[in-house]
Structure 1
Amino acid sequence: MYTHHKQIVTAGKPIEQATKAIIMLHGRGASASGIIALKDHLELNDYAIFAPQATEHSWYPYSFMAPVSNNQPALDSALGIIGDLVADIMGKGISQENIYFLGFSQGACLTLEYITRNAGRYGGAIAFTGGLIGEKLNMANYTGDFNQTPVLITTGDPDPHVPVSRVNESVGIIKGMNANVTLEIYNLRPHTITAPELAMANEILSR
């Protein structure tokens, strides 16, 4: 089993000049540079952009619906990388409410898991096809108050990797922690990111 090393690809404004920061999390088999390429479709003019690279191009080895123990130590390592990156960004003077998150697929699952374990007021979070992680969700992991952080969650129905039932369960938990959640389920949409989803993401990013 593997853990992750801190390999961060950056783009956008230098953090010293940026007013906002975004952490972008790639999917299984993909790369940090691949997810950063989405910036060409997103309104990120004032952002410092950070994309961690997963070891072996995967944040955890098995399905996000597997028992959490099966995905250790990779999962805790991945969450730790994000936590360290958030601390680094805040150490450079960008407040938590100006930090945004975006992930696709495995990266969307990791995005939701991180923010829900560390709920607070963020700039926003965008989860393109994802849900909270675990065979059964451990509510003891999820604490805090999102204070109306905007959260966009999108998925296809059906999706080959992410059951809509888990997406709905995740939305219920996150809403219950005082997030302002937008959920969009697309009938028969393939496992990808579509133009309407990017447009909804830009509504959050351009606020």
Structure 2
Amino acid sequence: MYTHEKDIRAYGKPLQESGKALLLVHGRGATAESILMLRQELEVEDFSLVAPQATNHSWYPYSFMAPVSQNQPALDSALDLLHTAVEHCKAEGIKSENIYLLGFSQGACLTAEYAARHAQRFGGLLLFTGGLIGSVIDTEKYQGDFAGTPVLITTGDPDPHVPVSRVDETVQLLEEKGAIVTRKIYKGRPHTILQEELELANQMLRS
């Protein structure tokens, strides 16, 4: 098993100039550079973009629905890397309400898990095909209050990796912790990000 090197890529304006940051978390088998390409579809000219890179191109080895213990120590190490990235943004003067988190697939699962364990008023969460991690959701792990943070969470029906049932469980927990959630389920959608999802993301980024 593995842990993650501290490898965080940046693009766009320096944090001290922009005043707002978008953290992008790639999926299994992908790269920080590949998720950063979403800048071509998103209205992020005024943002600083931050993208951590997973060692071995995977945040954890098994399904996000596996028992948490099976994905250790990689999972805790991945969560620590996200926390390092968020805290770096804060140290550069970015308030949490100006920090947006975006993930796709395995990256969306990691992003949801991180945010729920550190709930606070974020700018927004963009969870493209993901949900909370574990064979069952252990509510004891989740701390804080989202205080009205907007969340977009999506999946296909069916999706080969992320069942609608886990998306629904995730929506319930995020709402209980004070998030305002928009849930979108796309019948027959392949494991990808649709243009409609990007347009919904841009609505959040603009607001």
Give the % identical residues: 58
- Quote the offset at 1:143 in angstroms: 1.5
2:129 counterpart residue number: 129
Q: Secondary structure of 2:16's partner?
A: coil
Residue identity in the other structure for 2:97: E
Partner of 1:161: 161
Partner Cα distance (1:20, 1:88) in 2 = 12
Q: Secondary structure at the match of 1:17?
A: helix
- Could you tell me whether the CA contact under 8 Å between 2:19 and 2:93 is conserved in 1? no
Aligned mates of 1:203, 1:72 — CA distance in 2 = 36
Cα-to-partner distance string for 1:30-84 (whole Å, 9 max, x where unaligned): 0000000000100111111000000000000000000000000000000000111
Amino acid at match of 2:60: Y
One-letter identity of the residue aligned with 2:92: K
- Answer yes or no: is 1:116 the counterpart of 2:116: yes
Residue 58 of structure 2 is matched in structure 1 by 58
Amino acid across the alignment from 1:174 = L
Deviation string, structure 1 residues 90-113 (Cα, Å, up to 9, x no partner): 000011110000000000000100
1:78 corresponds to 2:78: yes
Which residue pairs with 1:107 in the alignment? 107
- The answer to whether 1:24 aligns with 2:30 is no
Q: Alpha-carbon deviation of 1:88?
A: 0.8
Match of 1:13 in 2: 13
**Residue aligned with 1:87, SS:** helix
Partner of 2:40: 40
The aligned residue for residue 181 of structure 2 is 181
Paired with 1:173 and 1:96, the residues of 2 have a C-alpha distance of 20
Distance 1:74 1:204 in 2: 31
User: Structure 1, residues 109-161: CA drift from partner, whole Å, max 9, x if none?
Assistant: 00100000000100001000000000011110012110000000011000000
- Does residue 199 in structure 1 map to residue 187 in structure 2? no
The answer to whether the Cα contact below 8 Å between 2:120 and 2:147 also exists between their aligned partners in 1 is yes
Q: Which residue is 1:190 aligned to?
A: 190
**Contact 2:150–2:180 (Cα < 8 Å) also in 1:** yes
* Distance in structure 1 (CA, Å) of the matches to 2:17 and 2:154: 31
Structure-2 separation of matches of 1:33 and 1:172 = 32
Specify the SS of the correspondent of 2:182.
strand
Return 5+ residue gaps in structure 1 as ranges: none
TM-score, scaled relative to structure 1:
0.99
Q: Output the CA distance in 1 between the equivalents of 2:88 and 2:51.
A: 13
Q: TM-score, normalised by structure 2?
A: 0.99
